[in-house]
Amino acid sequence: MPAPPLAPSNRYFPPGTRKFYWVVAISNYLAPTRAELNAGTDLSAEIAAMTGWSITTNMSDAPDMGSKFTNQVGGRLTSAQNDITCYLSANSIDARSLLPRGATGYGVVLWEGDVPGNKMSVFPAVVTSQAPDTATENVGTAVFTFAASRVPAENLTIPA
């Protein structure tokens, strides 16, 4: 008898659904409260693009003399470079004031929207750079880069 299939996923298109909150203070980032999430700033409508916001494992080779095959073992965890590209405003009132270099807080990614019971990731982070786009033919944007300062929390349940 074959293995049973995974239940079909309810697929979605991330734009208009996914949320990104910058939260300055969370007492236990492994279990944020609704009040803490509500105290953050929803940057979703200002984000043109985002990259990273994931955890990967470095692989280490573990060869042995008993085989020509080189086994691998999971090594250290690392966070990819985490960036968000935000729009700039003609009056300079935009994400630059919220995310200056050196700011600390939490990048909260609500993958399928802010829906209690769904999953989110929380990245303790430091803003390491804010780089305005210098191209003259593009809409004004700036790339904000974040360094994960602790192990991010994945697959947390969004509180009601």
71 CB neighbour count, 10 Å cutoff:
10
The domain ranges of the chain are: 19-53+77-157
d(CA 128, CA 36): 23
Chain position carrying tokens 């966070």: 79
What mean pLDDT comes out for the span 19-30? 98
Q: What is the 3-state secondary structure (H, E, C) of 82-131?
A: EEEEEECCCCCCCHHHHCCCCCEEEEEEECCCCCCCCEEEEEEEEEEEEE
With bands split at pLDDT 50, 70 and 90, how would you rate the model's confidence at 14? Answer: very high
d(CA 41, CA 25): 11
Please give the pLDDT value at position 58: 93
Over residues 94-139, the pLDDT tens digits come to 999 999 999 999 999 999 999 999 999 999 999 999 999 998 889 9
